[in-house]
Amino acid sequence: MPIIEMHLMEGRSVEQKRAVAEAVAEAVTRTLGVGPEQVRLLITEHGSEEFSVGGVTAGRKQELAVMQAATSAKKS
């Protein structure tokens, strides 16, 4: 029984999560030769302050991008 964990940033629609669940189940069924009823997918959503790369949270990265865009716009 394959168990797959997927971590996503918050904001995906129910339809998107259902579509990815179906696609993952199809791929695992096809490649591992198991029935779709055996495939488990755990989706965990994270807020922008619960995910970081290189010590910078996704929320802070967004803030920095906005500040940089504003600075660039002022120079133009």
The percent helix, strand, coil of the chain (3-state, each to 5) is: 55, 25, 25
Write out the chain's pLDDT in tens, 76 residues. 999 999 999 999 999 999 999 999 999 999 999 999 999 999 999 999 999 999 999 999 999 999 998 888 887 7
Cα–Cα distance, 73 to 29 (Å, whole number): 50
Whether domain 3-75 has CATH 3.30.429.10: yes
Cα–Cα distance, 11 to 1 (Å, whole number): 29
Q: Is the distance from CB of 29 to CB of 36 less than 8 angstroms? A: yes
Clarify whether 2 is annotated catalytic. Answer: yes
* Residue 58, both tokens: 């996704």
Which residue among 2, 29, 34, 45 is the active-site one? 2
Measured in whole angstroms, how far is the alpha carbon of residue 66 from the centre of its chain? 21
